[in-house]
Amino acid sequence: MKILMVLTSHDQLGDTGKKTGFWLEEFAAPYYVFKDGGADVTLASPKGGQPPLDPSSDTDDAQTDDTKRFKSDEAAQHDLANTAVLSAVSADGFDAIFYPGGHGPLWDLAEDDDSKALIEAFADSDRPFGAVCHAPAIFKHTKNADGKPLVSGKKVTGFTNTEEEGVGLTDVVPFLVEDMLKENGGDYRKGDDWDSFVVVDGKLVTGQNPASSAEAARKLLDLL
């Protein structure tokens, strides 16, 4: 099994002057679900190299067993520091694609043509594709073969409006994930704020928040 994980390269939190990037738990938990499940994992990002880490995900209270494991795993750290440039990555040869969240994807991956082409290639070939927390932002412009939004009519989830309100960034982000998924015709579902909640519709897997990252990865692996 070969799984492609795509991370953000964006590190600016709007006009706040603060840093953002990918959320450590949302990378580490799926990475180890895939690795422990026997998958060969390739990491990519729009700019390649080391993706920016959201500093809020690196605080003591945000650590989990998976993030602690990552911090003592030199091979995984090397892999993360050397992500492939997304434009050079082909969908060929991969069995599934997965996007960790963090606020970064709202700015770059949501608008990235290379990412859009990859997702559409996986969807068109009926291969599993998934995203967690803010990463369902990647479905902002993706289309089906018939030209309709890729999530139209599909059960989906992602970071809720109330969770965004809870972290005080409703007026900072370029768009709200929940609103965008609904506007694109998605059958948006959600669980309680901050609890694990994952939705599977065909080969599409989406998770609501950081707590959903491991379960979303397991559901994606189940499809393989």
- What integer pLDDT is reported at residue 64 of this predicted model? 96
- What integer pLDDT is reported at residue 44 of this predicted model? 98
pTM of the model: 0.98
Burial status of residue 72 (CB atoms within 10 A of its CB: 0-12, 13-18, 19 or more): exposed
Residue 211's pLDDT band (boundaries 50, 70, 90)? very high
Residue 74's pLDDT band (boundaries 50, 70, 90)? very high
Note whether 62 and 20 are within 8 A (CB).
no
pLDDT average, residue stretch 33-52: 98
Q: In angstroms, rounded to a whole number, what is the distance separating the alpha carbons of residues 140 and 202?
A: 19
Mean pLDDT computed over every residue of the chain? 98
pLDDT, one tens digit per residue, over 134-160 is: 999 999 999 999 999 999 999 999 999
- What integer pLDDT is reported at residue 79 of this predicted model? 97
pLDDT, one tens digit per residue, over 99-122 is: 999 999 999 999 999 999 999 999
Answer CATH for 2-222 from 3.40.630.30, 3.40.980.10, 2.20.28.270, 3.40.50.880: 3.40.50.880
- What integer pLDDT is reported at residue 150 of this predicted model? 98
